[in-house]
């Protein structure tokens, strides 16, 4: 199509027409839903936090099941990423869930490099998605997408603030993955200490420029709940899969000589808030942000490294053929969209 022809269509005025009766395209959203349900969904959670901080217990509590997970020792020489995939079903919705544990995190004497294996793991998942995308014969439809949709960062409850390993790790990961910080084992500190710790953690994240995931407020349906939940971060959580009788009800709780901490009681901890935000309200947004923001940045940097570019020196668009024809890469590539600048 010639350039002038394109311009003619671009300037053409659109007219609103009334339909004489029902034609059927109003079923398009339903078609989308049934197609998505038939295809199933995938969701990938990365749990970052020191050994014994309560990662496995929280995962079991969140999904109300028992995932098999080997107990990690405190003597790992390096941090290892251990992914495990499960097929779950709720009503007629199938979810392929991958939980990735950071085994040995925080156990080495020198913790300077602890973030590296995590970063490499996240990039490796982006890389295999990009490889699939760039194939001539792609099968993205049934591709097992292992890109990390959410990183739950577990903060120890018994400090005065974040540790340097927490700040360094979150700072290194924040452009790669959606981070939700949680204060683990919140039943082990008093309410006033917890309130202080929450404020301190948030102010340290802000002053160090760490971008955590913000629950989106653009969609009217969830704007109110999401903006209120943004003010509760970091969530202070308690995990337990033990069923305890409280009154005449069985509830998930942790029993102590002086009483019980009920996981789903909002006066006791923020577990319900976390589950609500992560699974019931924002799961699709987390998947979308992973693709549209974090993966997009990775993809753009990779393609630039490979020599692809969208515009020439005169800001004219390149066609795909021109782009490919211009390889190997010219120098002086610049990022032009609103995404952060690629770090080479």
Give the binding site for ligand GDP (CB under 6 A): 49, 51-57, 71-72, 185, 187-188, 238-239, 254
* Shortest CB 60 distance to ligand GDP, Å: 8
In whole angstroms, the minimum distance from the beta carbon of 300 to ligand GDP comes to 35
Which of residues 255 and 306 has its CB atom nearest to ligand GDP in the complex?
A: 255
* CB 53 to ligand GDP: min, Å: 4
Nearest partner of 198 among 225, 162, 152, 170, judged by Cα: 162
Which residue, 254 or 275, is less far from ligand GDP as judged by CB? 254
- Closer residue to ligand GDP in complex, CB, 185/287: 185
Q: Which residue has the tokens 């969209």?
A: 337
Which residue, 72 or 173, is less far from ligand GDP as judged by CB? 72
CB of 239 to ligand GDP, least distance (A): 4
**Residue of minimal CB distance from ligand GDP?**
54
User: 51 vs 98, which CB is nearer to ligand GDP?
Assistant: 51
The least distance separating ligand GDP from the CB of residue 28, rounded to whole angstroms, comes to 44
Q: Which is nearer to ligand GDP, 275 or 287 (CB)?
A: 275
Q: Which is nearer to ligand GDP, 93 or 255 (CB)?
A: 255
The minimum distance between CB 278 and ligand GDP, in angstroms, equals 16
Nearer to ligand GDP, 237 or 301 (CB): 237
| Three-state SS letters, the chain | CCHHHHHHHHHCCCCCCCCCCCCCHHHHHHHHHHHHHHHCEEEEEEEECCCCCCHHHHHHHHHCCCCCCCCCCCCCCCCEEEEEEEEEEECCEEEEEEEEEEECCCCCCCCCCCCHHHHHHHHHHHHHHHHHHHCCCCCCCCCCCCCCCEEEEEECCCCCCCCHHHHHHHHHHCCCCCEEEEECCHHHCCHHHHHHHHHHHHHHHHHCCCCCCCCCCCCHHHHHHHHHHHCCCCEECCCCCCEEEECCEEEEEEEECCEEEECCCCCCCCHHHHHHHHHHHCHHHHHHHHHHHHHHHHHHHHHHHCCCCCECCCCCECCHHHHHHCCCCCCCCCCCCCCCCCCC
What CA–CA distance (Å, rounded) separates 146 from 97? 9
Question: Least Å distance between CB 85 and ligand GDP?
Answer: 17
In the complex, least distance from residue 152 CB atom to ligand GDP, rounded to whole angstroms: 11
| Reduced DSSP (H G I as helix, E B as strand, rest coil) percent helix, strand, coil of the chain, to 5 | 40, 20, 45
């Amino acid at each position: 199509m010639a350039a002038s022809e394109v311009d003619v269509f671009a300037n053409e005025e659109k007219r609103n027409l009334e339909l004489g009766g029902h034609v059927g395209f109003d079923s398009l959203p339903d078609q989308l839903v049934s197609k998505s349900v038939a295809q199933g969904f995938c969701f990938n959670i990365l749990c970052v936090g020191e050994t014994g901080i309560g990662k496995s217990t929280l995962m079991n509590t969140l999904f109300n099941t028992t995932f098999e997970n080997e107990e990690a020792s405190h003597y790992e020489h390096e941090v290892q990423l251990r992914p495990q995939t499960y097929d779950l079903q709720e009503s007629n919705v199938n979810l392929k869930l991958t939980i990735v544990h950071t085994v040995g995190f925080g156990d080495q004497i020198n913790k300077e490099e602890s973030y590296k294996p995590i970063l490499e793991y996240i990039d490796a998942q982006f890389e295999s998605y990009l490889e699939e995308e760039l194939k001539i014969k792609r099968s993205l439809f049934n591709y097992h997408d292992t890109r990390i949709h959410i990183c739950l960062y577990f903060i120890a409850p018994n400090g005065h603030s974040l540790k340097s390993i927490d700040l360094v790790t979150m700072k290194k990961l924040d452009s790669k993955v959606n981070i939700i910080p949680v204060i683990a084992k919140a039943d082990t500190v008093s309410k006033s200490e917890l309130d202080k710790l929450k404020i301190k953690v948030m102010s340290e994240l802000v002053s160090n420029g760490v971008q955590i995931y913000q629950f989106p407020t653009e969609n009217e349906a969830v704007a109110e709940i999401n903006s209120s939940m943004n003010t509760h971060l970091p969530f202070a959580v308690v995990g337990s899969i033990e069923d305890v009788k409280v009154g005449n009800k069985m509830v998930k709780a942790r029993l102590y000589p002086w009483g019980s901490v009920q996981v789903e009681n909002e006066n006791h901890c923020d577990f319900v808030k976390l589950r609500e935000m992560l699974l019931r309200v924002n799961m699709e947004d987390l998947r979308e942000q992973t693709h549209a923001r974090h993966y997009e940045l990775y993809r753009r940097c990779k393609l630039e490294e490979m020599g692809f570019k969208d515009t020439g020196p005169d800001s004219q668009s390149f066609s795909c053929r021109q782009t490919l024809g211009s390889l190997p890469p010219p120098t002086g590539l610049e990022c032009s969209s609103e995404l952060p600048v690629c770090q080479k």
